[in-house]
Amino acid sequence: MNRCGYRRLAGIWLVVLLALAAVTWGQEPEAAVDPTPAEEEVSSGEPRVLPFGGFRSLHKEKSVEEWLEDLQSANEDVRVKAMRCLACYGEEATKAVPTLRTQLASESPRIQRQSLAAIVLIEEARFKSKLSRKSEKEWLAALRSDADPVQAAYALRSVGTDASLPSLSRALGHEDPVVCYFAARAISRRIESARWGKDDLSGADKKREVLAVWRRQADICMPALIELSKSENMALAGLAVGVLGRFGFPYRSDIATPAVPPIVAVLERGDKRLKQQAAGALGKIGEAAGDAVPALVACALEGERRMAGAQVSDRSSEVSANHLRRACIWALGRMGSKAKDATPLIIRALGDKDDGIRKVAVSALTQIAVDEEAVPILAENLADTDPVVCSSSAWALAEARSGFPAAVPALIEALADPDFRVRFGAAGALRDQAQHAHGALAALRQCLNDEHPHVRVIAKEALAAIAARAAGQ
């Protein structure tokens, strides 16, 4: 993508930033498109239970002992509820940890995740109140001696340096899944910390320095993380691929290239939640994961089949299938031109009934290529009920390699949209495709008096670009 292409792509992200300003202008701000559900996982792929809302109040309905009895139920939903409520008790539920540990061996991925997440939250609450002040060297000794490996791995997340990475990598193979979990989180923190404290460097210098650190870290940690991704425990496998993905984000480096085949294997064998985590990791790696395009397309098609097979009343299956499709489409977009073969899938998603799918499809298509085939659908999306879909579609049209004139009438109509983000995007598309935008002169002149300053500025730029084209400059 050339410099102009990057500028156009930046326009899409500017729409998201402008959403924050919408409150001032009487609009509701739009939520950012997240390729994975936030209920039970975070960007690193770490499983968790969020003790909020209903569960924060529900857990008081019963005592710890009563929730422990529910863990013996044959009903999976009852056990999951008990795990989440026990997690809300924090340190008070320490007596529940041995019983929760027995649930880690369950064949149900859902039980694996929830039991591990409950143990983690309970142990974290206990450690926070009683964690002794020890040096990194002392905690490493505790980790190696198995004196208290869970607490040691937890503590090293805060006090550990890169010197702790060899020991933490070995801990990923520990027989205790909780030790593996905290060790992986500690490694994730070290990867993330490579980007801290470098505000005095330019963008290129910062990237070069961060990538140098990541390469050293990857040499130490990646083999153990890849091995952990093969775990039968879906929670640990998901955490491993999430941490591996950190080596590619936000710089889309090739450092994580050796991890791509193992992550694809996870994508193909995992349950729906693990597939989402694997797709997210591949997306973070970006173009270096281009070999994963066929697997991601197949996974997205699987999500479509699930949608088609879901019962009308089965809202949870529909949401789950949409999350999976969204993760795959987002990942394909991150791979840029390497995902060219996925264009038909993404074009089809532009007209999906789910607004989240439409949003991420527009963004993905812009990063891959906007061909003539996509222009009519993008033009139709300019009248979508979701302003973010409209504005993103406009910016995608700015990237159209051919067929743009067919979208000009729809863009002219969009210049009168009630939402300033849509007007802004439409004017931006006409500016960037100025050679085809002569018919929009009158509508753009009216935008010079728009109530929003951003719209006025970009309309002025569009008129100048059209005039320059007409003058042959």
Same domain, residue pair 121 and 189: no
- Main-chain phi, psi angles of 41, to 5 degrees: -150, 160
pTM above 0.85, yes or no: no
Same domain, residue pair 153 and 124: no
Q: Which residue has the higher pLDDT, 3 or 426?
A: 426
Question: Is residue 281 domain-resident?
Answer: no
Same domain, residue pair 222 and 151: yes
pLDDT single digits (tens) 303-319: 888 776 655 445 566 67
pLDDT single digits (tens) 264-290: 999 999 888 999 999 999 999 999 999
Question: Is residue 462 domain-resident?
Answer: no
Q: Residue 418 has what pLDDT?
A: 93
Among residues 436, 432, 441, 435, the alpha carbon closest in space to that of 463 is found at: 441
Question: Is residue 162 domain-resident?
Answer: yes
Same domain, residue pair 64 and 146: no
8-23 average pLDDT score = 44
Number of domains in the chain: 2
Structural domain boundaries, residue 107: 40-130
Confidence of residue 43 (pLDDT cuts 50, 70, 90): very low
Among 16-20, 255-259, 375-379, the minimum mean pLDDT is found in 16-20
Look over the chain and give the mean of its residue pLDDT values, rounded to a whole number.
84
Question: Is residue 164 domain-resident?
Answer: yes
Confidence of residue 40 (pLDDT cuts 50, 70, 90): very low
29-42 average pLDDT score = 33
The answer to whether the CB of 69 falls within 8 A of the CB of 62 is no
CA contacts within 13 A on the Cβ side of 275: 24
82-95 average pLDDT score = 90
Strand partners, 41: 47
Question: Is residue 213 domain-resident?
Answer: yes
Same domain, residue pair 52 and 135: no
User: Where is the domain boundary, 130, 150, 169?
Assistant: 130
Question: Is residue 165 domain-resident?
Answer: yes
Question: Is residue 217 domain-resident?
Answer: yes
Q: Which CATH number goes with the domain that contains 121?
A: 1.25.10.10
Same domain, residue pair 105 and 152: no
Q: Residue 59 has what pLDDT?
A: 65
pLDDT single digits (tens) 381-393: 899 888 888 988 8
Among 23-37, 69-83, 430-444, 448-462, the minimum mean pLDDT is found in 23-37
Same domain, residue pair 193 and 111: no
Same domain, residue pair 96 and 140: no
Considering only CA atoms, give the Rg of the chain.
Answer: 25
Same domain, residue pair 51 and 103: yes
Same domain, residue pair 135 and 223: yes
405-433 average pLDDT score = 93
150-154 average pLDDT score = 93
The tokens for 279 are: 């797709």
Highest mean pLDDT among 29-33, 341-345, 398-402: 341-345
User: Where is the domain boundary, 228, 244, 260?
Assistant: 228
Q: Angle 444-449-451 (CA atoms, 0-180°, nearest 5)?
A: 115
Same domain, residue pair 104 and 173: no
User: Where is the domain boundary, 198, 228, 258?
Assistant: 228
Question: Is residue 452 domain-resident?
Answer: no
